[in-house]
Amino acid sequence: MISTGRLGAGRKFPAEAELCDELGVSRGSLREAVRMLAALGVVESRHGSGVYVTALRPEELIGSLRLTVDLLPLSGLLEMYEVRRVLEAHAASQAAARVDDELRTELLALCAAMEATDDVEEAATLDALFHTRIARAGGSPTLVAFLDVLRTRSRSYQMFGMPDGPTIMRTSNAAHRTIADAIVGRDPAAAATAAGAHVAQTEAWLRHYRPGPTT
């Protein structure tokens, strides 16, 4: 009903008894289905009013992928790195094409902050902010949401605190600086290449060190 548009965004579900009769299911089965759809962000229950279809915004539905992506072991995450490499490169390219003074200032400030800290948690936070800011500059909330899902699980496999962490951090910071310089210089091709190389390097580190996940 939802996928065909019969129950469009914002529409209220028919009465429970009516739905049970039409679908040929019990009340228990229907309620379980509603709970599952609610967990996925497709519907919402309003106390005293009923069940409604949400706005069905792509970025919000993609966000629900965290329910499963955050459970992936390292082997599963590594399989998704090819997708992340393509998307990060595209995001950087779009950012370079649309860069303004505000984005220039923010990216260079984030690079400086990453280069100035040796605190593992702060570095990881700044790293995430850097990539998120680039994705947002591309203008696609859906892309931002999808990359955020992939990065959130990636952050569970932290390498900055390992014995080789300082070297990894310096190499990562240099890559961030290269990406930022390409974006600031309005060079979409260079930005895409730098971003793709950075993600590929991170994937190579993960395959080599095989860190365990943190909570």
Domain 1-56 classification at class level: mainly alpha
Domain edges within the chain: 1-56, 61-209
Q: What number of H helices and E strands is found in the chain? A: 10, 2
Percent of the chain predicted with pLDDT > 70: 100
- C-alpha separations of 145 from 56, 62, 109, 180 in Å: 14, 6, 23, 21
Mean pLDDT of 50-74: 93
Residue 53 main-chain phi, psi, to 5 deg:
-70, 140
Judge residue 208's burial from the number of C-beta atoms within 10 Å of its C-beta, 0-12 exposed, 13-18 middle, 19 or more buried.
exposed
**pLDDT averaged over every residue in the chain:** 96
> pTM for this one?
0.88
Other Cβ atoms within 10 Å of 41 Cβ, number: 17
Cβ-based neighbours of 94, under 8 Å, separated by 6 or more: 137, 138, 139, 140, 188
pLDDT given at position 67 = 87
Which residues lie across from 44 on neighbouring strands? 52
Domain spanning 61-209: CATH superfamily: GntR ligand-binding domain-like (1.20.120.530)
pLDDT band at 93 (very low <50, low <70, confident <90, very high): very high
Interacting residues of 80 by C-beta distance below 8 A, sequence separation 6+: 69, 72, 150
Say yes or no to pLDDT of 101 above 90. yes
